[in-house]
Chain A
Amino acid sequence: MSNQFRDHLGRPIIAVTGMGVITSLGQGLEDNWAALTGGRSGIHEITRFPVNELSTRIAGTVDFIDLPVANAVERSYAMARETTLEALAQAGLSGDFNGPLFLAAPPVEPEWSARFELADRAGPAEEPGDAYDRFLAAMRERPDPVFHEAVLFGSISERLADRFGTRGLPVTLSTACASGATAIQLGVEAIRQGRTERALTVATDGSVSAEALIRFSLLSALSTQNDPPEKASKPFTKDRDGFVIAEGAATLVLESLESAIARGAKVYGIVKGCGEKADSFHRTRSSPDGGPAIATIRAALEDAGVGEEAIGYINAHGTSTPENDKMEYGAMLSVFGERLKSIPVSSNKSMIGHTLTAAGAVEAVFSLQTILTGTLPPTINYQNPDPSIELDVVPNVKRAQQVSAVLSNSFGFGGQNASLVLAAEPR
């Protein structure tokens, strides 16, 4: 067995042969990268629903994709379809994909418009709290298969599986803010297991609605600095006050390096290692000592078979919440020690906001693009540094710098953490 295609543990090396991305900055890798390296923000005032009385009125919603019906499932599917089309075209693959599908997708619930519609066609209230009894009576009179399909968590992957001819039962997953990275990790594992030569890993989130926004607001997780919107997300600064909710999607075509080379595919980079560790501290807060985040980063480095000195740039989780940025800094400091000061660390979220379920994959695509182009995207809105966080955040302006390996962090709400080590194609 040739070892040019095997890693330090004798496993197949995983190549990325196709990438696609959508964020509030636009559609497609090229446009996104131009905006991202130009330091442009995609955060804007919300127009999807009225926001006058809400404390947060801004988001990084994606409002430029055509939808048959405006709901979270249609939007999430449409973005996933578009990024997958882009990634497969880049990979030079057409026809049935013939590998497994791993999809990170938001948990969906019926839209409020659907509840209002049911209430309209049901009778009036007979007693407080009886809306669902009336909804049921209305459903008995006239079933609504569209309502059913719209609330099934498996409906997005079903459509992607049919559209792209993936193999087997697709996995739909959610590990909160780490979901996108987990999807990639599942694809990596499947190829390493020898179950497949290629895997389609997709992450999408088009679920910004009034209720989603208000739920995060009630947990004091969102920035309320609405004006101007593009200045709200300011990771690692002293006046950061929460994340900015956003939408987006990304697709990565993963392939064993051997099969990629054999078919003459262009290799955009390597997924060298994945690490994960769950937190048992609290439902919304990370362990203050950063233990699980530290373990996650270390696990990713170990899986990649590299020491901390190999990492030339860190694509931070960097949500711009007071707590995450402090905890993430502490975790990085304890892994990288004094050298951390000399490793550039930037947060894409300063420009695209927090794309939640999609974030891990969107940021993996940008990490690979960083390696490919030798350009570090900046952390914008870095005007007032937090003195307790001593980082080179690539402040405000992009930087030309070649890097061969990147660490991309995703630390989730609910204790789920994942880190990826992405690297240049081996020479």
Chain B
Amino acid sequence: MAKSENDVVITGIGLVSSMGVGREAHEALILGDHAPAPIVETERFAPYPVHPLPAIDWSQQIAKRGDQRQMENWQRLGVFAAGLALDDAGFKDDAEACASMDMIVAAGGGERDINVDSMIVDEALKRNDREALLNQKLTTELRPTLFLAQLSNLLAGNISIVHKVTGSSRTFMGEEGAGVSAVETAAARIRAGQSTHALVGGAFIAERLDIILMVEAIKGHQTGAWSPIWARDKDHGGGMIMGSVGAFLILESRAHAEARGARIYATIETVEGDRGNRAEGLLEKRLERMVEGAKPELVMSGTTGFHDLAAREKAFFEKTFPNAAIRGFGGLIGHSVEAQFTAGIGLAAMALGAGKPVAAFDTDHEKAMTKPASTAIVTTIGHQRGEGIALLAANA
């Protein structure tokens, strides 16, 4: 594709997962010559395995203790990953660039106070005036600041406060689709000349009983031990293993990036989301439309691991792009809902930027790459609804 000033290029990647902190840590793992071993916590939330947060020195990206204390882990992780992306792009100390930077955050909700919730339902079991009890307890037990830590738009609010990104601030919601729409919207604005540089991403904490409960309501979790994402056992739950992930990207117009001599990992050629009925063939039809014309050597799949969806996605790509190597990154870092799409784009951009093949994450079900990819597709098929596809190209 011919280069143009308003091409959407990726110039910063801020990624935190169970595999480590930062772009370099992830590059070292996925661009090596053998499959990295996933890190899984099987005890703490048994029977539900999760990919846990790595050790993080929060003060590296959130200097003030007071700021750290104002947030629970979900917001803290997002603010931290956003800082990594800004750092990676060379924007961290560029006050002017941050003050004019657009921001779109894909957000869920913040942590419940498990102890307060428990206290209330336990007391309610003994009472028949539950609503009155609720008023009493909420008035006396809720920490005022917890509300702010729970509000979806306050992840973006905290990024503005901590990193001074204030050009604009938008928060998208709606599970996996929020991440897809965030990238789609930021890219469309850059392509149309409405924006020159944007911070886009999200965060997800898997180690939360309130979130685990949400997915258990549809029996979505794999239970017991970890197993490869393409081969999860139908006798042990629904197939999803969630992972704590913070994933932010810096997207820029080519002109803006080149003018400041920024390193370009990859170009986003197209990015699109869609939704609808997933009855046999209909999901595939939407995917087919979204990948039309692409010739990827790599498919960075954000599959949830849900048995049926994972099998259908793999079959679709094996049929459509028989020569492409598929990598199910959820097997490595877990499923991270709102952060899934930007995490996948980050991983694919690392491979394209470094010009290296990606190691098979699951040697039984993923074929080896003999040479680096020049174009890659990133997918996220939402656990309940919504699908997103991005086509990335190396910055040749």
Chain A residues with Cβ under 8 A from B370's Cβ?
A: none
Most A Cβ at <10 Å: residue of B103, B166, B214: B166
Please give the distance in Å from B223's CB to the nearest CB on chain A. Answer: 9
For the complex, what is the distance from the CA of A154 to the CA of B380, rounded to whole Å?
15
* A264, CB-defined interface residue at 8 Å: no
B177–A51 contact, CB under 8 A?
no
* A105, CB-defined interface residue at 8 Å: yes
With CB as the reference atom, state the residue of chain B lying closest to A281.
Answer: B161
Chain B residues with Cβ under 8 A from A145's Cβ?
A: 217-218
B117–A152 contact, CB under 8 A?
no
Contact of B125 among A109, A119, A283 (CB under 8 A): A119
For the complex, what is the distance from the CA of A157 to the CA of B173, rounded to whole Å?
10
* B154, CB-defined interface residue at 8 Å: yes
Please give the distance in Å from A372's CB to the nearest CB on chain B. Answer: 29
B118–A139 contact, CB under 8 A?
no
* A205, CB-defined interface residue at 8 Å: no
Contact with A along B164-207 (1 / 0, CB 8 A): 11111111111101101100110011011010000000000000
* A94, CB-defined interface residue at 8 Å: no
Q: Interface extent on B, as a size class?
A: 35 or more
| Chain B residues touching A, majority SS | helix
User: Given that A115-B121, A136-B212 are contacting pairs, would A194 and B192 also be in contact in the complex, using a CB cutoff of 8 Å?
Assistant: yes
A169–B177 contact, CB under 8 A?
yes
User: Given that A277-B166, A414-B157 are contacting pairs, would A132 and B210 also be in contact in the complex, using a CB cutoff of 8 Å?
Assistant: yes
User: Given that A109-B109, A153-B174, A189-B189 are contacting pairs, would A119 and B166 also be in contact in the complex, using a CB cutoff of 8 Å?
Assistant: no
Contact with A along B269-292 (1 / 0, CB 8 A): 000111100000000000000000
B212–A171 contact, CB under 8 A?
no
A135–B181 contact, CB under 8 A?
no
B168–A276 contact, CB under 8 A?
yes
For the complex, what is the distance from the CA of A108 to the CA of B73, rounded to whole Å?
19
User: Given that A174-B153, A215-B142, A277-B168 are contacting pairs, would A50 and B132 also be in contact in the complex, using a CB cutoff of 8 Å?
Assistant: yes
Contact with A along B205-225 (1 / 0, CB 8 A): 000011011111111000000
B138–A214 contact, CB under 8 A?
yes
For the complex, what is the distance from the CA of A214 to the CA of B184, rounded to whole Å?
37
* A52, CB-defined interface residue at 8 Å: yes
Chain A residues with Cβ under 8 A from B275's Cβ?
A: 158, 161, 168-170
Q: Interface extent on A, as a size class?
A: 35 or more
Binds B, one of A123-131, A231-239, A387-395: A123-131
The 3 closest A-B pairs by CB, nearest first: A169-B273, A154-B174, A131-B118
B-to-A contact residues, CB < 8 Å: 70, 103, 107-109, 112, 114-115, 117-122, 124-125, 130-132, 134-136, 138-139, 142, 144, 147-148, 150-154, 156-158, 160-161, 164-175, 177-178, 180-181, 184-185, 188-189, 191-192, 194, 209-210, 212-219, 272-275, 382, 384-388
Chosen A-B contacts, 24 in total, with CB atoms closer than 8 Å, are A50-B131, A50-B135, A107-B173, A108-B109, A125-B122, A136-B213, A145-B217, A147-B214, A148-B217, A148-B218, A152-B175, A153-B152, A154-B384, A157-B174, A169-B388, A174-B107, A189-B194, A193-B189, A193-B192, A210-B134, A211-B134, A218-B139, A278-B103, A415-B156
